[in-house]
Amino acid sequence: MKAWLTRYTQSFSFIGLIVAALFFSASVTPSLLPRHYVTQGVLSAFALAIGYSIGIASVWFWQFLGLSQPSDSLNRWSQRVTVVFTAMVFIVFLRQSTLWQNSIRELMEMPPVESAYPLRFFLIAVGLAAGIVAFTRVMILAGSKLADKLDRFLPPRISRAVSTAVIGVLLIFVANGVLARGLLNAADSFFSKADELIDEGIEQPTRTIACGSSDSLVLWESIGRRGKDFIAAAPTQEAIAKQTGADAMAPIRVYVGMRTEQTMEARAALALAELKRVGGFDRSVLIVATPTGTGWLDPGAVDTLEYLHHGDTAMVTTQYSYLPSWITILVDPSRAKRSAKALFDCIYDHWKTLPKDNRPRLYLHGLSLGCFGGETAADVLTIFEDPGQGCVWSGPPFPSAQWAALVQSRNPDSPQWLPTFRDQAIIRFTAQKNALDNGKRWSSIRNVYIQHASDPMVWFSPDLAWHRPDWLNNPRGPDVSPELRWYPIVTFLQIAFDLPMATTVPIGYGHNYSSSSYIDAWIAVTEPNGWDKPESIQQLKAHFADRE
């Protein structure tokens, strides 16, 4: 056993271990969100494994080029210096890990942690990384054995290439065709079942004009959990009037779930029919909303609009997925676009037939994947022919092409996390602090993007692996740690691991958008009557802050 252990430890590449240690050290530095030690351990394991692979690949490439090897004395001296330097970096970074985590928590108004548990995440990382390396070695050994068999029939180099290709294809098939599909099916089944779970406190609405009532075209049983929450949580006429001190109406909400109809087009057509039935086109404001991947619409966005307009609103949406946005965006992001397009086309085609002086103002809204799908629902020809009045988008995810083009074309004196676009007449961006009321002239079409500098759904990108992002330039966002540094590959891993945790931080940070930001955005875009006094707006913000 001792002899085997000695051979095993000696089988590791010195350069590979050094690079792995440096990658591990970089992985414990802060990213956009605080991390639990288990998450940190898994993240650091991948950093270790990738760092080790890069190290041994560098050695192989050096030898492949036939470059001279250092003398034995120089090699021993350089190894000692390298070990000392790497050990110092390793120890210092581990000791700093708690301070780095608390640097993020302080910005997000979270209580500090006494420890980031460096020993725990170190052991998790080493154990998992060892497993990854062992699996890789088994695959290499299998490829070598296959190549030896092929040497009987093929030249050595060709047999090596063929064996590598066979093992690679086999791994891709297993990973993508078996593991990934199995995990996706399991997730889809889990979240589909979760969508069927109903809070016992939610009862079928009794008002005739309520979606899901006994008079509704939409069966209450088919709507799903998120849809029922959305419909049942609508504020009453009395609640709005009490808060605003003015006459109010009961807002209209229409929601068609995935189980209600089989196709996106059928769901959109039913949503239009229901919207007509309940008088949605008789309201002053009509919102075509695209929900998140789970079918959720943020109450902070929906309720605030209804209070600002004293209930004289209608909002319509259709569900297209059960999965969380970060999963949907990786496996089938086109769902959101196709669903948003089908719904908008249906609603818009009817809306444009109405007299211009006797129809509601038309707006679009979406959070997260809802923004990704909704921002391209109206094409350029639609905008020119008979445009709606604007949009409010929040948390635009990184694949959002229209958002990315706007940010890329921002005015050069504006930061990436809070850009300004041309003269700001049509499009404006804002974050926690209201940046919309800047004295600039608005056009008749108004579009607002709400985005946090700490939102990984917004700032993740594959090119983080090799390119330092502009959002790390000064001035940084107020919720981004000054200790965050860019490291090739490692920063990509860090932000990728932030994605599933994007909503685990307090409201107003990460992927959690506050009602205060929505109030500012809706006021800027929809210009509601009766909100000229700042104290009235502050009272409304305080009312919703108490609910968050």
Query: In this predicted model, what pLDDT tens digit does every residue of 446-469 receive, in sequence order?
Result: 999 999 999 999 999 999 999 999
Segment 203-207 mean pLDDT: 89
Q: What is the pLDDT of residue 514?
A: 97
Segment 431-446 mean pLDDT: 93
Q: Where is average pLDDT lowest: 39-43, 242-246, 329-333?
A: 329-333
Q: What is the pLDDT of residue 11?
A: 66
Q: Does the pLDDT of residue 160 top 60, yes or no?
A: yes
CA distance linking residue 523 with residue 61, whole number of Å: 60
Q: What is the pLDDT of residue 196?
A: 61
Q: What is the pLDDT of residue 212?
A: 93
Q: Is 390 left (phi over 0), alpha (psi -120 to 50) or beta?
A: left
Q: Does the pLDDT of residue 26 top 70, yes or no?
A: yes
Model confidence pTM above 0.95? no
Q: Is 224 left (phi over 0), alpha (psi -120 to 50) or beta?
A: left
Q: Does the pLDDT of residue 63 top 60, yes or no?
A: yes
pLDDT band at 58 (very low <50, low <70, confident <90, very high): confident
pLDDT band at 378 (very low <50, low <70, confident <90, very high): confident
Q: What is the pLDDT of residue 120?
A: 93
User: DSSP code of 548?
Assistant: -
Work out the number of other CB atoms within 10 angstroms of the CB of residue 500.
13
Q: What is the pLDDT of residue 446?
A: 95
Q: Where is average pLDDT lowest: 44-48, 170-174, 210-214?
A: 170-174
Picking from 408, 445, 451, the residue whose alpha carbon sits closest to that of residue 427 is: 445
Q: Does the pLDDT of residue 273 top 80, yes or no?
A: yes
Segment 171-191 mean pLDDT: 58
Specify the amino acid at residue 11.
S
CA distance linking residue 442 with residue 428, whole number of Å: 10
Sheet-wide strand order for 313-318: 252-256, 313-318, 285-290, 361-367, 390-394, 446-450, 427-430
Q: Does the pLDDT of residue 5 top 60, yes or no?
A: no
Segment 248-275 mean pLDDT: 96
Three-state secondary structure readout of 427-454: EEEECCCCCCCCCCCCCCCEEEEECCCC
Q: What is the pLDDT of residue 79?
A: 74
CA distance linking residue 27 with residue 97, whole number of Å: 10
Q: What is the pLDDT of residue 321?
A: 87
pLDDT band at 337 (very low <50, low <70, confident <90, very high): very high
pLDDT band at 192 (very low <50, low <70, confident <90, very high): low
Angle between helices 490-498 and 14-27 (to 10 degrees): 40
pLDDT band at 71 (very low <50, low <70, confident <90, very high): low
User: DSSP code of 531?
Assistant: -
Q: What is the pLDDT of residue 380?
A: 62
330/150: higher pLDDT: 330
Picking from 120, 166, 119, the residue whose alpha carbon sits closest to that of residue 142 is: 166
